[in-house]
Amino acid sequence: MRQFYLFKNKSGYFNVVLLDPVSGFKCSTKSTHTKDKVEATMIATSWIQNGQPEARSNSRKFNSASSSPSLNLKSIVERLSENDARLLVSMISEKFNFSATPCISSNSSSNPNPIQNVSETKEPRIKLAEYLINFWDYDKSEFIQRYLAKGKKLSRTHTESMKGLAKNYWLTYFGEDKCVQDLNQEELEEFFFYLYSERGLKGSTVNHAITCGSRAIGYLFDKHKISVNPMAGVERYGTNGLKRGIPTESEVRELINLEWKNQAGKLAFELAAYCGLRAGEISGLRVCDIDLDGEILHVRHSWNEMDGLKTTKNTDERDVPITNEIALRLKELAQNNPLYCDTSYIFFSPVKPEQPYWPSYYQDRFYEAMAEIGISEEVRKERNIVFHSLRHFCATLLSQRTDIKTVQSILGHRSEKMSIHYSDHETQEKLNNMRNILQSAWNDCLTA
């Protein structure tokens, strides 16, 4: 049975929790006054052997060999479990940079089983890039299979993105032979700064690369496959991203009155602007989701090219009121599907009618329509307007006409905070109200 374990306090120093060797209950907790884990382990071991010191010293650094009491190493070894012993040897090897030469006792000539090399007692060497790529393999990763088995959500799109980061950045920078055990925080910080400064990646993309490594390497540490987690102290980058832009009300009216080249694209635009549907939710709509009598759209699924039909982003279903005119147009579009039935897709692909359009399809049609009303690609990018901006537009429009709870229900947000974030945009109506208030105030002031 273990007789102690270590943990860091909020100041970064290691505390020792001593355990009763018989009952396993905690006896006492005391600070070692050191931030070095190897040193803390040796101090804790000496306390078990010689008892805790009564007085408190200002420093717990090791004394010189001439002044420090010798330890009964044999007694210490007898008290260690096999796992503790392996961990201790690994930490001592890292601290003092021991080579892989055998440590043989003085009577080794008569001992047929000399002590193993220090390097042989360490964790098995783990190739960094290979491990990251396999960790994010949706079909083969042990971590992913266990994660999904617990009912948690992890999309194939996300794991493929992480796998791509491992191949494109981690493998390219560190090569095939770099091992996880050889990583340190300083080296990782240099790697992430290289991605930001030399490769010119945005802060958000660098953060994705950090997530790629921290989750995978943290899993090794949690499973006691490595003794130190080099990702633990890595800080994330500021995104400094543009705030999501939205089209103005007059621009939306122009887009509604525009004769679109593709009617499926226009209908998707209206669902996003009127009802706040995500692109994936539009692709996931099926015939059975239209309630003509109740004039309701049941938003039950999302769809993407990696995962196919799946639950919505937060796994919640919601009902959204629609006009009778939109309901009929959705039904008419769905009936053009040669595989038309209750479970066929409304926004079906003409090439593969058993599948819907990819979500990116609606974005392309939206960009074409914006160009038609005079908004160039350069201006659109400068304003940071994408198809998802229509969901922000819907939230903003609704929030200025109703309470945030209603907005939350329509958009399917789990928190009011998220709905407020989506609705934090200016509209022409709000500006007109502000103008009227200012004009009224100045009129009162000037005529007083």
pLDDT in tens, 320-378: 888 899 999 999 999 999 999 999 999 999 999 999 999 999 999 999 999 999 999 99
Q: How many angstroms separate the CA atoms of 276 and 389, rounded?
A: 9
Q: How many angstroms separate the CA atoms of 190 and 213, rounded?
A: 14
What pLDDT shows up at residue 25? 63
Nearest to 163 by CA among 201, 206, 125, 209: 209
The answer on pLDDT for 299 being more than 50 is yes
Higher pLDDT, 259 or 443: 259
Higher pLDDT, 276 or 335: 335
pLDDT band at 88 (very low <50, low <70, confident <90, very high): confident
The answer on pLDDT for 140 being more than 80 is yes
Joined together, the tokens standing for residue 111 give: 């001992």
Q: How many angstroms separate the CA atoms of 385 and 363, rounded?
A: 10
**Three-state DSSP state, 6:** strand
| Cβ proximity of 224 and 126 under 8 Å | no
- H/E stretch holding 16 reads strand 14-19
- Confirm whether pTM is higher than 0.75: no
The answer on pLDDT for 190 being more than 60 is yes
Q: What is the mean pLDDT of residues 277-294?
A: 93
Q: What is the mean pLDDT of residues 301-311?
A: 89
Nearest to 309 by CA among 333, 334, 335, 289: 289
Sequence-distant (≥ 6) Cβ neighbours of residue 438 within 8 angstroms: none
**How many CA atoms within 13 Å lie on the side-chain side of 284?**
22
- At 398-408, the pLDDT tens digits run 887 777 677 77
Q: How many angstroms separate the CA atoms of 128 and 230, rounded?
A: 12
Q: What is the mean pLDDT of residues 157-177?
A: 93
Q: What percent of the chain is modeled with pLDDT above 70? A: 75
pLDDT band at 414 (very low <50, low <70, confident <90, very high): low
Please name the amino acid found at residue 33: H
What pLDDT shows up at residue 288? 95
Highest mean pLDDT among 84-93, 116-125, 154-163: 154-163
Q: What is the mean pLDDT of residues 243-252?
A: 86
